[in-house]
């Protein structure tokens, strides 16, 4: 049942992501997308919606990261429960064996020891052996009780984690229904724009493409991440994607740093807590740079005032000027 429940959670999150990543209104809003009274206003509305779209995308990514942690907790708790149960079964078998010896005459009583001892020293020695056996039995009983409690606690923890995962699915599913009703409205406005207007919208969210002039990274690890990120230039932006054929912003950073042997979560907000903080005037190639407050976009600094990032829907992975993005938030050095 637990496996089926987790499978449903995984499917639900992916379905939620598919819906959430194509519309520019934040989850929980019930109003339709604003209607434009002019092409210029439509372009601005779509540009704003693109930013809101990325916020939604990164919220879904963050929810997926949290869900993965909960699923890991379920797996760890199940493993602990199995280990405890194995110990419990082994100790219970020992106790049953000792009990059979005590009550079938194969054991030795204190009276038997007294009657068969040839000297006081032998009596004391044999009595000590009996006490040691009794003490060992008592310890086994205590260990069995402890293992039993540990097993119950581990299974309770697993059930609690599974319940949280189910709750996360329910929340995403509810937001999905609201977003599905708005997808067509947003897409209609975007499709109504002329090609130049779409370009304005895309540039406002993605920045103008520049020719890469990457500097040497300070370490081989950072250089590997930079090289991997730059190798993805030209690939499409897809909400929730983490390579190798398409990316969103945090998915590109996760992919690039994974190639360098560094694991990052697929979430810009989670990535903004990794490694150590770096001031803007101390940026080095490979550093992650974050935008907006709260953080909802991430790119990789490559030196000479440039960054590579998966920008927005309709725009490929590209290199842009760091200053072209605006709303700079912070930077982190992860290795």
Residue 4: the pLDDT is 39
Residue 190 sits in the same domain as residue 215: no
Domain that holds residue 227: 207-333
Residue 172: the pLDDT is 62
Residue 151 sits in the same domain as residue 258: no
Residue 89: the pLDDT is 75
Domain count, the chain: 2
* Catalytic residue ranges: 249, 297, 309
Residue 13: the pLDDT is 32
State the DSSP H helix or E strand holding residue 277, giving kind and residue range, or none if neither.
strand 276-277
Residue 137: the pLDDT is 63
> pLDDT tens, 60-80?
788 788 878 877 877 887 787
- Is 200 within a domain? no
Confidence band of 167 (pLDDT split at 50, 70, 90): confident
> pLDDT tens, 118-148?
666 655 565 565 555 566 666 766 776 777 7
Report the predicted TM-score, pTM, of the whole model to 2 decimal places: 0.66
Question: What is the distance between the alpha carbons of residues 249 and 297, in angstroms, rounded to a whole number?
Answer: 6
Answer with the one of 195, 215, 238 that is the final residue of a domain: 195
35 touches 184 (CB < 8 A)? no
- Is 202 within a domain? no
Residue 51: the pLDDT is 73
Between helix 2-20 and helix 39-103 the angle, nearest 10°, is 170
């Amino acid at each position: 049942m637990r496996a089926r429940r987790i499978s449903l959670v995984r499917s639900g999150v992916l379905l939620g992501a598919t819906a959430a990543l194509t519309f520019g209104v934040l989850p929980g809003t019930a109003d339709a997308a604003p209607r434009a009274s002019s092409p210029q206003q439509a372009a601005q509305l779509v540009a704003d919606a693109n930013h809101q779209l990325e916020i939604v995308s990164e919220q879904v990514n963050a929810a997926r990261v949290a869900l993965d942690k909960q699923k890991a907790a379920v797996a760890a708790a199940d493993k602990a429960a199995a280990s405890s149960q194995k110990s419990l079964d082994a100790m219970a078998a020992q106790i049953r064996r000792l009990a059979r010896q005590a009550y079938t005459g194969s054991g030795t009583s204190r009276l038997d020891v007294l009657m068969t001892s040839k000297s006081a020293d032998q009596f004391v020695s044999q009595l000590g052996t009996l006490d040691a056996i009794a003490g060992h039995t008592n310890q086994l009983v205590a260990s069995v009780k402890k293992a039993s409690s540990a097993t119950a606690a581990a299974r309770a923890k697993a059930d609690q984690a599974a319940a949280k995962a189910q709750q996360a699915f329910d929340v995403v599913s509810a937001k999905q229904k609201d977003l599905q009703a708005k997808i067509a409205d947003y897409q209609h406005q975007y499709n109504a724009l002329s090609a130049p207007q779409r370009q304005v919208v895309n540039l406002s969210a993605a920045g103008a493409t520049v020719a890469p002039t990457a500097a040497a990274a300070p370490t081989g690890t950072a250089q590997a991440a930079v090289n991997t990120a730059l190798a993805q230039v030209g690939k499409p932006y897809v909400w929730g994607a983490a390579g190798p054929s398409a990316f969103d912003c945090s998915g590109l950073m996760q992919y690039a740093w994974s190639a360098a042997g560094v694991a990052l979560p697929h979430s810009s907000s989670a990535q903004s807590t990794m490694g150590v903080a770096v001031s803007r005037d101390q940026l080095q190639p490979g550093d992650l740079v974050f935008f907006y407050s709260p953080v909802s976009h991430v790119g990789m600094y490559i030196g000479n005032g440039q960054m590579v990032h998966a920008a927005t829907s309709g725009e490929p992975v590209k290199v842009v000027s760091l200053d072209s993005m605006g709303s700079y938030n912070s930077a982190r050095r992860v290795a």
